[in-house]
Amino acid sequence: MKKLILLFTLFASHITLIAQNVNLNEIKKNLEKKSSDYNQEKLLVKFKGLPIQLDSIESRHLYYGNKVSVDYKKADELRKTFKEENYQKSIELAEEILKNTPTDLETISIIMEAYYKIQGNSTKLNHYSAQFTKMIDAILSSGDGKTEKTAFLTNSVTDEYILLAILKKNASLMKRISKPSKDGMYDIWDENGKKIYINVIYDTKF
């Protein structure tokens, strides 16, 4: 896990932050509209083929528009297999999960680490690293985390913890207060008086 966090922070160093408001309803409309430049099928082709070519708006549409949850049993099996250091099997399980949930951050992070363990710096690692970076870019560009109004937006609690790792924060050493938001739940993380606001989106209908 420590190496995963190292990979997180390494790839985050290449991200340029430009915070912008995220309009979830507009994203949903654009993804469903066939003629839109941000049609989901078009963006997924680019994401799966040449993710490095995605711009920040496209990345934001993909991340916030793909909220299908990973099957719990499959996700649990992947975590267990990875923990057992069976990296080849982890890659196979991750690839299967990504067929249905291609933008899932946890799965992408695991397959990144598995390829790193087996092959070191490789084409596959670079490919999944680009995907991971684009999805993290979407989250980091959603706000600055300094207030409720400018909170970072994440699709899940798992993504929230990945974000904290990217920000080089240890969640176990921070205090957390939660309160309802329009789309889900605000988590307010406190580190010696310095707060980070994260809005975890639970309403998949938006």
Nearest of 22, 93, 105, 25 to residue 56 by alpha carbon: 22
> Given a cut of 60, is residue 2 above it in pLDDT?
no
pLDDT at 68: 72
* Co-location of 135 and 71 in the same domain: yes
Domain that holds residue 180: 152-201
**CA 111 and chain centroid, separation:** 14
For residues 200 and 164, the answer to whether their CB atoms sit within 8 Å is: no
- DSSP code at position 96: H
User: Is residue 145 situated within a structural domain?
Assistant: no
Least confidently predicted of 14-18, 34-38, 76-80: 14-18
Q: How far apart are the first and last CA of the chain?
A: 33
* Co-location of 90 and 62 in the same domain: yes
* Co-location of 93 and 21 in the same domain: yes
Higher-confidence residue: 103 or 12?
Answer: 103
User: Is residue 206 situated within a structural domain?
Assistant: no
pTM over 0.85: yes
User: Is residue 197 situated within a structural domain?
Assistant: yes
